[in-house]
Amino acid sequence: MINRMLCAALLIVMIGAVVPVYAQEKSQQLRVLTSMSERVFGPFVEGFERENPDIDVLVLNKNTNHALGEVALGNGRKFDLFWASSPEAFDMLVDFDHLAPYKGKKHHDFALSSVGWSWKTDRLSKVPSSWNTLLEPRFDGRIGIARPSRSGTTHLIVEQFLQDRGWEDGWQYVLQLSANFATITSRSFGVIDGLKSERFEIGLNIDFLAISEEELSFQYGRPVMLVPGRIAKLRGGGAPDLADRFIDFVLSPEGQKILLTPNINRVPIDAELRKTLSYEKYPALNAALRLSWAAYDPELAARRYWMVNEIFDQFITNQFGRRRAIWRDIRDIEADPELAKAHRNKLDLAKTYLLTMPIEEHEVAIMQPSPMPGPGNRYAPMTAEQKKFQVRWQSQAEMLLNMAENELREIRK
């Protein structure tokens, strides 16, 4: 018994001796807040720690909105860096003075990306050729998308439609596309998982998420809008000097080459390195890099970030089951040529109600968003103005669906 006690005491002494040594080996700590998966940030952390064995890098992965919320709460956990693929998130952080400058810039581009759709390579026989192709009834219940208020990637997708097609036509497209949604996932990774598990056949997402998956294929939507992924220092971080060193590493030739590994497959911001890049897997992006088909405005997206996400939720997410049922009822009626012909006016009117966005762009432009558009009251309590608009938008969405349902009931009498 005494021998056991002596052994236990000796073990405690040995452990106590080891812990301070390890702490000395990792004497500095860098904290990173990111929306990217470990597949992306992991190799960068490993490479940086290899070059800096005295630094321990801690990474917290959150979706873009929750990450913004973390900062909005005052960065209480003293994160040093914010790292994400949504450029408008950084513009919002700049607007509310949450970023610290480095080398004269509030944020630094590190990679380029664009959006489109992906599918399981061996499952889809006829690949959609354009965004408009996705509107066809044959894709009913076959498309997966993430919720833009929880996914910076989907916010990019919705904003691309609004910026390319214009506010009214852009929302009309999104509302019509929602007729073919199989589900709305909580994160971008949920779209990838849904494709792999065959919950749906087509997923709307960003290039690198799909290209890095061996079993998935990806096609860019046109026009291609190139958007920069960014990294930036946060105010109130615990190790600003280490943050500078990590940014330097990400932008260095060694860091940029990490983007080209098969598990990541992202287009580096380094123009010289891009010249060595094989575009076999993404020829459309090669053309975009050479021709610059369309420009994406992250500042515009940042100004109306909360509004666009809230409108999507009120008109699509929160009405998803009901909206889908109405569309299917319309398609069932249209499958009967005689019935459809006899009630064409009512069918067209029902569709008009489904595709109408009653909120005008100027109404959104004059709104004052909350200090930081994180999700829920915990992060950014809504202003009285926001609550007023939220209630109004919910009422407008429900009214339009009621009117569409009334037209269909008249047909079914």
- For the chain, the domains span 2-111+227-291, 115-223, 304-413
> Residue 8's pLDDT band (boundaries 50, 70, 90)?
very low
- Evaluate if residue 370 carries a pLDDT over 50: yes
Q: By three-state DSSP, how is residue 58 classified?
A: strand
Gap between the Cα atoms of 206 and 228, Å rounded: 12
> Residue 285's pLDDT band (boundaries 50, 70, 90)?
low
The structure tokens listed for 367 are: 């709104």
Gap between the Cα atoms of 107 and 70, Å rounded: 18
Strands (DSSP E) contained in 132-197 are 143-146, 181-185
pTM over 0.85: yes
- Evaluate if residue 48 carries a pLDDT over 90: yes
Mean pLDDT confidence for 390-411: 97
Mean pLDDT confidence for 136-163: 96
Strands (DSSP E) contained in 129-226 are 143-146, 181-185, 202-206, 216-220
Strands (DSSP E) contained in 215-341 are 216-220, 227-234, 267-268
Name the one residue in this structure whose structure tokens are 């060193």: 245
> Residue 54's pLDDT band (boundaries 50, 70, 90)?
very high
pLDDT of residue 383: 78
> Residue 378's pLDDT band (boundaries 50, 70, 90)?
very low
Closest CA to 30 of 51, 1, 4: 51
> Could you give the count of Cα atoms lying within 13 Å of 189 in the half-sphere of its Cβ?
10
- Evaluate if residue 217 carries a pLDDT over 50: yes
The percent of residues in the chain predicted with pLDDT above 90, rounded, is 70
Identify the architecture of domain 2-111+227-291 in CATH: 3-Layer(aba) Sandwich (3.40)
Identify the architecture of domain 115-223 in CATH: 3-Layer(aba) Sandwich (3.40)
pLDDT of residue 13: 39
The structure tokens listed for 168 are: 């009214």
Burial class (CB in 10 A: 0-12, 13-18, 19+), 341: exposed
Gap between the Cα atoms of 110 and 108, Å rounded: 6
